[in-house]
């Protein structure tokens, strides 16, 4: 079977379904070490960053390659604060959109932002457009929830940081320090993860020299899938279906019998526990201490039962579910929350791809028929004809 190989192309490599194990390019943004189950951003491990660097610092690190000094961080915070509010015309458009699937809504608004930006196609503005999207995505998600619930609009406050502003706009009250710390850590932990499906979609898009909004629209649409970003919502649905600790074992047995997936478990790269999970669990525990510990208890029991049954470890989405639930965030907003964090990683990869671009175009191995003769319509027998 031949492949669609150009005459001077290198010999085609064997098919790797899902590009599993294929190294598509170099990157210096993050290192996802599947064997050691370690993750680092620009050389800093999660243990080094979580609880020490806020999301604002980490988004600067991802886009600029180094942690900001005080003056740089102050300027970055001012820039993010300046971009956080939505223009009145965009808000009016958002009010008239159908309040359907939250990720479909977010994907649509990002696309509309591109349509409204007269300089969208100017690739020299990728960085300023990136900062605007990093700042605005949480505002869009929070105001979507206010609009669909017919609550009064609330804009971001200049005196609040990134995580605090989201919680303020969503709930309409000043968030507690514990809630801000937990959401900030969540944003840091989900900010970037090398060539995951949604980031690779963004890189593939901008590899054609299309605009940032098109690349981020593709990324949001890719993250929407339950095998990727939507697993956090499905993991919460799973915890609610189980309902109590004493029903965990029966649930695991039935899921295995039905050959179904445990949401929030397994990973293409990590062959052990996702290095982000322990941090997310710690923040969920801190919040549970003030709320209903039931979801954590069910999670811990389920984590052990699935490991015992399948040696399957949890991934980033498992304790994300409890953490976001404890923050009072509706489960159908969990995947948009993932996008609120990952927008920094997506933009960093767009900038990296654009700076040293090579059109992303893999080969395919053709396995269909060849050399067929054309048969005129009046002589073509219907395949269903007796």
The residue among 259, 201, 247, 234 whose CA lies nearest residue 318 is 234
Out of 84, 136, 162, 193, point to the residue binding ligand SDX (CB under 6 A): 193
Among 146, 261, 278, 297, binds ligand SDX (CB under 6 A): 261
Choice between 267 and 349, CB closer to ligand SDX:
267
From 132-140, 145-153, 166-174, 311-319, span contacting ligand SDX (CB under 6 A): 311-319
The span from the CA of 84 to the CA of 314, in Å, is 34
Q: How many residues bind ligand SDX (CB under 6 A)?
A: 17
- Residues 285 and 52 sit within 8 Å (Cβ to Cβ): no
Largest CA distance in the chain: 80
To the query of whether residue 317 is one of the catalytic residues in this protein, the response is yes
Only one of the segments 85-93, 103-111, 261-269, 369-377 lies at the binding site for ligand SDX (rule: CB under 6 A); that segment is 261-269
Give CA separation, 232 vs 2, 164, 227, 236, in Å: 41, 21, 10, 6
Give min distance, CB of 188 to ligand SDX, in A.
12
Applying CB under 6 A, which of residues 312, 331, 360, 363 lies at the interface with ligand SDX?
312
> Please, what is the minimum distance in Å from the beta carbon of residue 337 to ligand SDX?
13
Question: Does the footprint of ligand SDX cover residue 303 (CB under 6 A)?
Answer: no
CB of 239 to ligand SDX, least distance (A): 13
- Site residues for ligand SDX, 71-100, by CB under 6 A, read none
Q: Which of 266, 296, 325, 346 binds ligand SDX (CB under 6 A)?
A: 266
Return the structure tokens found at 96: 């008239």
Applying CB under 6 A, does 267 fall inside the site for ligand SDX?
Answer: yes
Annotated catalytic residue, options 267, 274, 279, 349:
267
Out of 46, 110, 142, 231, point to the residue binding ligand SDX (CB under 6 A): 231
Q: Contacts with ligand SDX in 196-215 (CB under 6 A)? A: 196
Of the candidate residues 145, 184, 211, 317, the single one contacting ligand SDX (CB under 6 A): 317
Which of 204/315 has CB closer to ligand SDX? 315
Does 262 bind ligand SDX (CB under 6 A)? Our answer is: yes
Among 46, 219, 252, 316, binds ligand SDX (CB under 6 A): 316
Compute how many other C-beta atoms are within 10 angstroms of the C-beta atom of residue 225.
Answer: 14
**How many Cβ atoms are within 10 Å of 179's Cβ, its own excluded?**
21
Instruction: Give me the 35-74 binding string for ligand SDX, x by CB under 6 A, dash otherwise.
Output: ----------------------------------------
Out of 184, 211, 274, 317, pick the active-site residue: 317
Footprint of ligand SDX (CB under 6 A)? 193, 196, 227-228, 231, 261-268, 312, 315-317
Positions annotated as catalytic residues are 267, 317
């Amino acid at each position: 079977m031949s492949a669609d190989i150009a005459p001077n192309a290198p010999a085609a490599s064997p098919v790797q379904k899902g590009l599993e194990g294929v190294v598509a390019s170099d990157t210096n943004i993050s290192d996802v070490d599947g064997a050691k189950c370690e993750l680092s951003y620009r050389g800093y491990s999660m243990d080094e960053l979580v609880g020490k660097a806020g999301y604002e610092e980490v988004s600067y690190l991802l886009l600029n390659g180094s942690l900001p000094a005080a003056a740089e961080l102050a300027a970055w915070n001012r820039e993010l604060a300046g971009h956080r509010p939505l223009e009145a015309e965009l808000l009016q458009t958002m009010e008239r959109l159908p309040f359907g699937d939250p990720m479909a809504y977010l994907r649509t608004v990002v696309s509309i932002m591109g349509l409204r930006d007269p300089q969208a196609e100017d690739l020299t503005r990728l960085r300023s457009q990136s900062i605007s999207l990093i700042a605005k995505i949480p505002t869009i998600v929070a105001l979507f929830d206010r609009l669909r619930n017919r609550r009064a609009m609330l804009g971001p406050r200049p005196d609040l940081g990134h995580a605090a502003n989201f919680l303020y706009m969503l709930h309409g009250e000043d968030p507690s320090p514990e809630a801000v710390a937990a959401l900030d850590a969540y944003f840091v932990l989900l900010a970037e993860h090398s060539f995951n499906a949604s980031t690779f979609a963004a890189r593939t898009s901008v590899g054609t020299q299309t605009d940032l909004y098109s690349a981020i629209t593709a990324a949001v649409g890719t993250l929407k899938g339950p095998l990727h970003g939507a697993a956090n919502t499905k993991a919460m649905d799973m915890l609610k279906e189980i309902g109590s600790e004493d029903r965990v074992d029966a649930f695991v047995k039935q899921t295995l019998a039905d050959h179904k997936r445990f949401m929030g478990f397994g990973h293409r790269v990590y062959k052990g526990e996702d290095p982000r999970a322990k941090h997310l669990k710690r923040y969920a525990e801190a919040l549970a201490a003030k709320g209903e510990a039931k979801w954590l208890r069910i999670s811990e029991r389920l984590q052990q039962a699935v490991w015992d049954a399948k040696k399957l470890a949890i991934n980033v989405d498992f304790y994300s579910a409890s953490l976001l639930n404890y923050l009072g965030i509706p489960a159908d907003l969990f995947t948009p929350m993932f996008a609120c964090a990952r927008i920094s990683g997506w933009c960093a990869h767009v900038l990296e791809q654009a700076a040293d671009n090579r059109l992303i175009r893999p080969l395919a191995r053709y396995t269909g028929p060849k050399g067929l003769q054309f048969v005129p319509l009046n002589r073509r027998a219907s395949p269903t004809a007796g």
